[in-house]
Amino acid sequence: MKLFRLPITILLLSIVISCSADPIDKLISSTAMENTVFPLNIFDIQKQTAKSVNGGTLIEASVEVPYDVKRNQVRATILASLKKLKTDYPKTEWFIVYLYPAGKETSRIPAAIHAGRGEYVQQEIFINYLIPSKEEIQRYADKNAKSDNYMISTPKLMSEQEFYKAVGIASLYYDYYKSSRDPNLSYQKAAEQLGMSKTNVKAYRANLLNYYGLGQKFEVIK
């Protein structure tokens, strides 16, 4: 019997390890996170009650990424963020993360200025690539070629200077909108404060909202 004690011990140990390993580890390999944006800045972590999942908790968090983040970085950063949160909150079974292209500067604007969205629930990962590919931009341009509506104008990746200018404009517009609830008046007030035309204020804000959110690619990992 002594001859079989060691193999049985190893077998039992392997069973314990396999049972204790978190399912998310099987979904996310180290190579899948190679293009993660570093440092990984996760902020604004919020817990909510979620009776529909084991553990009864949903955790939502924001993640800072560069304004010109690439699509392969979106995927890797979402996976790294979900894995980090799962490590920090092992009893939670539902996580949602949003990638903000300028961190807290864009997270305070109540609009879909996200580079991506990731979710881990019921041992599955869902990834939304919210920045558009060149093909998606072209399709959007073709569809709206005859439109002069600023809110559906063809978006483009701005320079860093133009991006932060657009963020400032969008933030200022929202500050006025919070008090007036009048879009036209809010554009006018922002334009007066910035010394710009109302048309240009609309154009900057529209390009920001259109670019970060136009992407339609969706991926499921299970």
Question: Is the pLDDT score of 114 beyond 80?
Answer: yes
More confident residue, 110 or 198: 198
Please state whether the predicted TM-score (pTM) of the whole model is above 0.85: no
Residues 6+ apart with CB under 8 A from 124: 27, 220, 221, 222
Instruction: Read off the pLDDT of each residue in 79-86 and give the average, rounded to a whole number.
Output: 97
pLDDT tier at 9, thresholds 50, 70, 90:
very low
Residues near 45 by Cβ (< 8 Å), separated by ≥ 6? 59, 60, 61, 85
Higher per-residue confidence, 109 vs 125? 125
Q: Could you give the percent of the chain with pLDDT greater than 70? A: 87
> So what's the pLDDT on residue 66?
95
DSSP code of residue 101: T
Q: How many CB atoms lie within 10 A of CB 222?
A: 10
Lowest mean pLDDT among 54-68, 71-85, 100-114, 190-204: 100-114
Distance CA 39, CA 90 (A): 22
* Angle, alpha carbons 88-93-96 (nearest 5°): 80
Residue 180 has pLDDT above 70, yes or no: yes
Q: Which residue has the higher pLDDT, 125 or 145?
A: 125
| Band (177; pLDDT cuts 50, 70, 90) | very high
What pLDDT, on the 0 to 100 scale, is given for residue 40?
A: 95
Task: Find the DSSP H helices in the chain.
Answer: 2-20, 23-27, 71-88, 104-107, 134-143, 160-180, 183-194, 198-211
Mean pLDDT over each residue of the chain, to the nearest integer: 86
CATH 3.10.310 placement within the chain? 20-133+212-221
Q: What confidence tens digit (pLDDT) does each residue in 23-82 have? A: 899 999 989 999 999 999 999 999 998 877 777 899 999 999 999 999 899 999 999 999
Vertex 96 angle, CA 116 and 82, to 5° = 85
Options 1.25.40, 1.50.10, 1.10.3470, 3.10.310; CATH for 20-133+212-221 is: 3.10.310
